[in-house]
Amino acid sequence: MSFDRSIKIAPSILSADFANFGQEIQAVEREGADWIHVDVMDGHFVPNLTFGPMAVKAFRPHVKTVMDVHLMISPVDQYIDAYADAGADILTAHVEAGPHIHRTLQAIRGAGMKAGVALNPSTPAEAVEHVLDLTDLVCVMTVNPGFGGQKFIDMTAKIRKLRALIGDRPIHIEIDGGVDPNTAPLVVDAGADVLVAGSAVFRGGSVENPSPYGENIRAIKASVAG
């Protein structure tokens, strides 16, 4: 996985057809998805329950791009090896999920994955300042985590601060929540380069009719072009 700051769209399969995950992943990749974003929720750290390691392992053969696994779970550390075995390329843990994010990031990299750290809306950029050298991606939540389809929360000041803290280090800034052609320009202008989009990508399409996925992805990319 080489590093570049080109704008990447990472559809969240939380908005896909749950009965057709393999075909949905293939369809959205064919239509231009750069990464596939997998939201793992435990019903404890966030008020929803989604996928475990076995589900992620089942998704893996269908993902030809990058499998970006976002853990909204607490605790994290005892599950790191399971998600490495499931084939995650990037594994992101929340700074709020436990007392030792430094150790967690070390363990993620030690298991052979890229390490991401996520920040809830109320958590300041400075919370990750001292772990950036262990980090490949910072995920800025622009909704409160737990459900898809929520209203965008403006975090542009935090993104700008992160962009300054990161400097020239090869670290992605990912935005998760409420991304669409209206909000994408705000976060990209502030310094983001990976845009997670769920309903904004999957809206209007299906496995049988995937062309809207491509139209939706292109609309987001067009909104930030130039």
Catalytic residues: 39, 176
Cα 61 to chain centroid distance, Å, stands at 19
Backbone angles phi, psi at 60, to 5 degrees: -50, -45
- Cα–Cα dist 152/129, whole Å: 24
Number of DSSP helices (H) and strands (E) in the chain, helices first: 8, 8
How is residue 62 written in tokens? 């269908």
Tally of CA atoms within 13 A in the half-sphere of 45 that contains its CB: 21
Nearest to 105 by CA among 120, 92, 123: 92
Q: Which residue has the tokens 């991401």?
A: 116
- Number of Cβ within 10 Å of residue 107's Cβ equals 20
